[in-house]
Chains A and B, each alone.
Chain A
């Protein structure tokens, strides 16, 4: 079974802190994604990566950065946490798309981040 793990299930941080969210997948997937999930807004893509050291902005990259130093690990960084970044953060991975068509994305359990 594909396994995507996230470093924390719950995290509480203070405004202005630097926050690291870690994601690891064990299926040798090339693609990795970071989403945030808020009530009524669905999943919104923050950043994604198609390969090691490669990253692309998603729909809402402001206030975030990412790091992909190894194929299995994709980190989301909040440089200076703010209260509007309180949310559920979901990591996902997938095999590369063939002919432009996406493959199924496998999700981690999520990290619920609260910024006070």
Chain B
């Protein structure tokens, strides 16, 4: 079936470096994508989203890139900080029957080394 996956389950980066978390999606009809951050013991928290009519969107220290040609989504975090340590999920809004469904990936754990 259609699914959202992540290439790297764990990513370790040095504090101050940039982080890139990748996500592959399989449904070319998906039209909206979200990145969530989940810290230990907490629920997922919205970071940034992007519509399929865009290929890049920037927030504060975060950038999401969408490559529809290869169905790839990435989250870039600039100047990674210890507080960025968390599990990051991508989610895709995909058509299903007569409605839409939000499908979540399994997550990538980001570890920030001091």
Contact = CB atoms under 8 A, between A and B. Distances in A.
Interface of A: 4, 35, 40-43, 45, 90, 92, 97, 100-102, 104-110
Given A40-B106, A43-B89, A102-B32, 15 more contacts: A41-B106, A42-B4, A42-B107, A43-B44, A90-B43, A90-B44, A101-B31, A101-B51, A101-B93, A102-B101, A102-B102, A104-B49, A106-B46, A109-B41, A110-B43
23 contacts: A35-B104, A41-B106, A42-B106, A43-B44, A43-B89, A92-B43, A100-B100, A101-B31, A101-B32, A101-B51, A101-B93, A102-B93, A104-B46, A104-B49, A105-B46, A105-B102, A107-B43, A108-B43, A109-B41, A109-B42, A109-B43, A110-B42, A110-B43
Pick the most buried of B43, B100, B101: most chain A CB atoms within 10 A of its CB. Answer: B43
A114 to B, nearest CB: 15
A72 to B, nearest CB: 17
Contacts of A41: 106
B15 to A, nearest CB: 26
A109 B45 CA distance: 10
A100 B45 contact: no
B95 interface: yes
Interface of B: 4, 31-32, 34, 36, 41-46, 49, 51, 89, 93, 95, 99-102, 104-107
B43 A100 contact: no
Contacts of B43: 4, 90, 92, 107-110
Contacts of A90: 43-44
Nearest to B32: A101
Contacts of B42: 109-110
A42 B36 CA distance: 12
Contacts of A92: 43
A107 B93 contact: no
B74 to A, nearest CB: 18
Given A4-B43, A101-B31, A109-B42, A43 B104 contact: yes
